Amino acid sequence: MMQLRTPGGAPLSPLCFGTMQFGSTADAEASHAMYEACRAAGMNHFDTAHVYTGGASETLLGQFIKKERDAIYVATKVAYTGGAGRENINAAFDVSRKRLQLDCIDLLYLHRFDPQTPLEETFEALAQLQQSGKIRHIGVSNYAAWQVMKAQAVARALDTRIDMIQPMYSLVKRQAEVELLPMAKSEGIGVAAYSPLGAGLLTGKDSRSGEGRLATDSRYAARYGQPWMHKTAQNFAMLAMQMQMDPATLAVAWAAHHPSITCPIISARSIDQLRPSLAAAQISLSGEDYARITALSQAPAPATDRLEEA
């Protein structure tokens, strides 16, 4: 796999910070404090999106990185709404670039798959942005493995490639293990995994606390509403206590341990909430501890009906 680097040539940090809260649950002051904490911990990879917090996320991140642009690897996403046609990609990208105050964005993701637009049109637009020096690398988020490979074939025909994918991945969301992660390993594609804390479920605080997305957002309540997930989270919290580790630290470290994961994407609303996730960069799980944690959740079914061969 090609090792992605900052414009200044530094390898990417083992954790990425997702700025989805910037300008919303984290005001400008809290957002800047978290950015500085990430930098102090050696993090140089920051992720945002055109749709995050009405543009405030990109605007704030652009302000924070201004004095050290070459030391930072910036990823953003387009085409969550409006489709992945050329016109929508270019229009959203132009707005994102102005908010970030950047001539070139390091990594541009397609935020999700668009079945209505030919991949040829989508990737011609991305290839043109890359050839004109406006983006360095191409990524896709929330794609199935077959969608990645179909898009990669189109990209190759245009003399470019998908360098990074961004799937959901945590102890209670392991579907990526079936096809996405083996595909990424085989094809040399990086993996920035989001929601390693399971929207807070794995932090030891569930929706009964009345705070966080599980309690306030019906989409997340449904996404993590399976009883087995909550049971896994309870058992995980107990194991973390036995290991004398914060559950958030352990959850991020578990996600990072998978050999196909380039970096988990951590996020927070405040410095206090951020610290346990940041600490995961210093944790190296033993094979035994990794296996104990993994055994707490349901392993996804293998990608075959020939179970006798699995």
| Helices 247-257 and 227-242: angle between axes, nearest 10 degrees | 100
Contact 71, 6 (CB under 8 A): yes
Angle at 157 between CA 179 and CA 153, to 5 degrees: 10
Judge whether residue 1 has pLDDT over 70: no
- How far are the Cα atoms of 40, 160, 252 from residue 102, in angstroms, in the given order? 23, 22, 30
Q: Tell me the three state secondary structure of residue 11.
A: strand
138 pLDDT higher than 60: yes
282-291: long-range contacts at Cβ-Cβ below 8 A with a sequence spacing of 24 or more? 283/245, 283/249, 283/250, 283/253, 284/253, 285/253, 285/254, 285/257, 289/243, 290/254, 290/257
34: nearest Cα among 256, 199, 266: 266
Residue 44 in contact with residue 72, Cβ under 8 Å?
yes
Over residues 245-273, the pLDDT tens digits come to 999 999 999 999 999 999 999 999 999 99
Any bridge partners for residue 190, and if so which? 164
Averaged pLDDT score across all residues of the chain: 95
pLDDT digit string, tens, across residues 18-29: 999 999 999 999
How crowded is residue 109: how many other Cβ atoms within 10 Å of its Cβ?
Answer: 27
Rounded to 5°, the CA angle 189-116-138 comes to: 25
- Sign, CA torsion 236/240/241/247: negative
Q: What token pair was written down for 204?
A: 């030891």
Query: Which residues 6+ apart lie within 8 Å of 63 measured at CB?
Result: 101
Question: Is the pLDDT score of 156 beyond 80?
Answer: yes
The pLDDT confidence band at residue 306, using thresholds 50, 70 and 90, is confident
pLDDT digits (tens, 9 = 90+) for 100-112: 999 999 999 999 9
Residue 173 DSSP code: B
For 193-221, how does the pLDDT look when each residue is reduced to its tens digit (9 = 90+)? Answer: 999 999 999 997 754 555 677 777 788 88
In the block, which residue shows the tokens 């995050």? Answer: 52
- Spatial neighbors of 162 by CB under 8 A, at least 6 apart, are 138, 139, 140, 148, 151, 152, 155, 189
CATH 3.40.50.920 describes domain 16-166: no
pLDDT digits (tens, 9 = 90+) for 34-62: 999 999 999 999 999 999 999 999 999 99
Q: Say if CB 73 and CB 40 are below 8 A apart.
A: no
Please say whether the beta carbons of 297 and 234 come within 8 A: no
Name which of 52, 49, 62, 45 is nearest 26 in CA terms: 52
pLDDT at 310 over 90: no
- Angle 145-157/119-131 helices, nearest 10 degrees? 60
- How far apart are the C-alpha atoms of 209 and 159, rounded to whole Å? 50
Longest dimension (CA), the chain: 58
Beta-carbon neighbour count of residue 52 at 10 Å?
23
Looking up tokens 């994102």, which residue turns up?
96
Instruction: Give residue limits of the domains in the chain.
Output: 16-166
- Would you name the residues annotated as active-site residues? 52
- Residue at token pair 């799980």: 285
Over range 64-74, report the average pLDDT: 98
Stretch (H or E) spanning 139: strand 135-141
> For residue 255, which phi and psi values (nearest 5 degrees)?
-60, -40
